[in-house]
Amino acid sequence: MPEANNQQVQFFVPSFHNWIRQQIQKDVPYDQMVRELLTVSFGPGSRRQRSPQGTEPSPLAFYQASELKPENLAATTSRIFLGVKLECAQCHDHPLAKWTRKQFWEYAAFFSGLQGSNNNVFDPVKEVADRREIKIPGTDKTVQARLLDGTEPAWNPGTIARSTLADWVTDAKNPFFARTAANRLWAHFFGIGLLEPVDEPGEDNPPSHPELLDELARQLTSAHKRGHGSEPKGPAPIRADGRQRSVGRTALR
């Protein structure tokens, strides 16, 4: 979860941890978990609109930790799920990578419909479902929501912009998602990522073993195509050390 110093937000942290535990206990695949987090409903009548009671499982803290600000949510979600440190392009073009300021705010526009209280995180969260644009601060320019690979979003009538973003983020063809998941798993178990730092990929920071990272990502997406859950029915070998290992519960499905 994003770091949050706000004491009111800290109140929601146990409920967010319980939400994650609930997802794992239900054996929810990683891509579906990410999708649910990105598309949680804040519409009228939704129980997510109000603050969770005590330790009631809820992903609300993920959003409140970012103050429901599009720029904060853009920076957090791109770094965690896509391995892209996009916040460096918030005020100017990224000094070391290809990302431009315009691309940052186009990505942030997917979260522009969210509205919260400026003073009280316990107030209900609201969302303007059809808002897909945002004004770049300090300029007169307004940009439309656009995906990081440069493609135009395939908008679905009647759905929130975050849902369209989630479709792209968790798609098996996404060039960032599976590689980032594989790299984070490697870093967790071995103490260092195949690409390090794990959220700063780029031409000037290539993976130490690109073929291995590609293979790990391929295994995750192939497990998704085979319909594997926490216990794959067929072999999903990862021969990093010459032995067969299962992709396991992180497999995309």
246 token code pair: 């299962």
On the question of pLDDT at 54 being above 50, the answer is yes
- For the ranges 88-92, 148-152, 168-172, 223-227, the one whose mean pLDDT is highest: 168-172
CB 38 within 8 A of CB 168: no
104 — pLDDT class (breaks 50, 70, 90): very high
224 and 118 belong to one structural domain: no
| Interval 132-170: pLDDT, tens | 999 999 999 999 999 999 888 989 888 899 999 999 999
Give CA–CA dist 184/104, Å, rounded. Answer: 23
Statement to judge: residues 242 and 121 lie in one domain: no
128 and 202 share a domain?
no
The pLDDT of residue 221 is: 85
Region of poorest pLDDT, from 28-42, 112-126, 232-246: 232-246
Q: What is the pLDDT of residue 241?
A: 45
pLDDT of residue 26: 94
Final residue of a domain: which of 109, 144, 169?
169
2 part of a folded domain = no
